Amino acid sequence: MIDAPTTCPTPADAIAALPAGLDEEIRSETQQSLARILEELTHRPIPVGRFNRFWALGSLQARLALGYLAWWLRKGFISADASEAALNEQHLRAALRMLATMGYMRGVVMKIGQALSQIPNLLPEQFLDVAGHLYFDAPPMHYSMLREHVRNELGADPAEIFDDFEPRAFAAASLGQVHRARLKGSGHPVAVKIQYPNIARTIQEDVRNLIALMFPMRLSSDWENLKVQMTDVAEMLDDESDYLQEAANQEHARSLFTPDDSVVVPRVYEDLSTRRVLTMDYLDGLHLRAYLRTNPAQAARNRHGASIFKSSLRTWYAGRMTYADPHPGNYLFLPDGRLGLLDFGCCRRFTNDEWEYLRRVEDVFDKDDEALRLVLAESTDLPVERVETERDRFDLLVKYTNWIWEPMRTPGAFDFGADSYLERGMALYGEVVRKRYTRSKPVNTWISRCFIGLRVMAYGLRCCLDARSLYLEERRAGFEG
């Protein structure tokens, strides 16, 4: 399934997501706003046209800026406690505005919000309590808005093709929503993912708008490299909107695992799949939040953490493909202890040149920082001479890279649940972004998403695992294969 679909939020879910300790008047106002937003999004068609989408995004920026400006102007005339309360209220209003706008636009804009909401300590706690809890997922579109679209793709109404097709989606995300159904004859349970009408055409529009918003950076020496990266992002998102490409990635990943791996990839039904509809086995399990509410034993957390890392390493080394979106909604913790693996839309198949580049990076894995600086020059598409003239850039990139590799360099169990490890990495990543040291080969965009996502997942599980042994085992098997 694509883009981490989770259980579709309802007004009750939204209310449960609100932080404790809110003033009753604010809580009531927020509850009403959330319920209204979710209801409206169910019936609103996705806006199309570059100008329409740019206007919606620009209006959001302006409203957020004005809201925080109003708080800044007020804080000089009220007490510190009142100022903090007012700031918390503004965080809530900002979250509601972003949820409404991103849920309305879906697509690329929602993906950005979803990614931001998963990085600990990046956004205010009050903000994440509302927006992060819902993963920036929109409620499903009313099926009446998709019915003709589905008929065009499958050639008939789903009720005629499947047994017990459920018109109400059980999951929704940025590009599509998922419905339960049963196959004709066998009654086998399947998940049918249906892409939102017109969402594919919005991808290029959104990317062009994002480039326009970054236009002030055009005088930077890294502007041309940034445009190359954005072009690569647009191409990947185009691939992600092609469900036949996702089906190919999913079947490729499925071929990499055996029953002994305790990792399950849903089977795709090619005769019931098109570029805009994808039919696959339905997996019944729990996403991370629900799984943690069962109070699993530490041994179970560790086992699942190892499965998550192993599955990523397997697709990387044996499959030469990065599973670029290790998001909490992309994993299912199954009742029998196995791990279900979802979402193969955002996968980067490595070209031969990219694979050789990655092998050169790994050649310095156990060498000193000076050797790493040289390979990072290649990674950033900068001449080697710049290593000395831009020492600050490369010293920071070395620190960040060493943080990434730390679990694979540490013998024995590594504690991913330690606050210090993730906080240190997020601080380094934030510094890289703040100093605009983002010049990079395009493939590194997806590698970075994979690496950070895995660590956020492991932190959420609070698991300990021998990442070094897993890494060496999968690397050896992949390179020898």
For residue range 212-224, what is the model confidence (pLDDT) as tens digits? 666 656 666 777 7
Percent of the chain with pLDDT over 70: 68
- Averaged pLDDT for residues 293-303: 96
pLDDT above 50 for 69: no
What whole-number distance in Å separates Cα of residue 469 and Cα of residue 481?
18
Determine the pLDDT at residue 247.
97
CA distances from 18 to 82, 116, 285, 288, 429 (A): 20, 19, 25, 19, 29
Residue 235's pLDDT band, with cuts at 50, 70 and 90, is confident
**Which of 198, 147, 199 lies closest to 168 in space, CA to CA?**
147
Higher pLDDT: 65 or 49? It is 49
Is the confidence at residue 66, as pLDDT, over 80?
no
Residues 232-253 have a mean pLDDT of 91
Contact 415, 464 (CB under 8 A): yes
How many whole angstroms separate alpha carbon 382 and alpha carbon 123? Answer: 32
Average pLDDT of the chain?
Answer: 79
Whether the pLDDT of residue 194 is over 60: the answer is yes
Alpha helix segments (H runs only) across 76-198: 80-105, 107-117, 125-130, 147-154, 158-161
Q: Are strands 263-264 and 339-341 parallel, antiparallel or unpaired?
A: parallel
Reported as a pLDDT band with limits 50, 70 and 90, residue 55 is low
pLDDT by residue (tens digit) across 335-355?
999 999 998 998 999 999 999
Q: Render pLDDT for 357-375 as a digit per residue (tens, 0 to 9).
A: 998 888 887 778 888 888 8
What is the structure's pLDDT at 138?
Answer: 57
**171-191 mean pLDDT:** 89
DSSP annotation of 210 reads H
Q: Is the pLDDT of residue 72 over 50?
A: no
Kindly indicate the confidence band of residue 134, based on its pLDDT and cuts at 50, 70 and 90: very low
**Residues 347/372, Cβ–Cβ less than 8 Å:** no
Q: From residue 276, how far is each of 139, 150, 339 by CA, in Å?
A: 19, 8, 27
Q: Is pLDDT above 50 for 305?
A: yes
Alpha-carbon Rg for the chain in angstroms: 23
> Does the pLDDT at position 308 exceed 70?
yes
Is pLDDT above 50 for 11?
Answer: no
Q: What is the pLDDT of residue 429?
A: 87
pLDDT for residue 110: 67
Q: Which of 74-78, 180-184, 260-264 has the lowest mean pLDDT?
A: 74-78
The model's confidence at residue 233, banded by pLDDT at 50, 70 and 90, is confident
- Residue 351 is predicted with a pLDDT of 94
Report how far residue 202's alpha carbon sits from residue 248's, in angstroms, rounded to the nearest whole number. 23
Any bridge partners for residue 104, and if so which?
A: none
Distance between CA 422 and CA 415 in Å, rounded? Answer: 10
